[in-house]
Amino acid sequence: MLRADFLPYLLIMAGVTYLLRMVPLVFLRSKIKNRFVISFLHYIPVAVLSVMVVPAVFYASGSLLSAVIGFAVAVVFSYFEKSLVQVACLSCAAVFVTELLINL
């Protein structure tokens, strides 16, 4: 079932991805003391995650309008600290309903 040349590809892909995750986690074993580095690492999660969402979310569904509405719904319910699943489902539902209405 596997193509002959598939396994080398798989190894390269998985290997590079794993190395990127493994090297810092294994080699940074002591607590960092430098204040800038501590602060930088403190801010990196929110920076990466927010720039991964915007603007990509606007192109994640069938139309810009439904994506914007889906995202707006996600922001509102996140603000009221609903769980991850609730927010994700409500957001999908909003996109679904919007596209139903668009296609009417």
The binding track of 25-54 with respect to another protein, each residue x by CB under 8 A or -, is: xx-xx-xxx-xxxxxxxxxxxxxxxxxxxx
DSSP structure string for 25-48: HHH--SPP--HHHHHHHHHHHHHH
**Site mask for another protein (CB under 8 A), range 59-78, x = bound:** -xxxx--xx--xx-xxx-xx
In whole angstroms, how close is the CB of 65 to another protein at the nearest point? Answer: 12
Between the alpha carbon of residue 77 and those of residues 27, 55, 88, the distances in Å are 39, 19, 10
- For residue 57, state whether it binds another protein (rule: CB under 8 A): yes
Residue 48 CB, nearest approach to another protein (Å): 4
DSSP state of 104: -
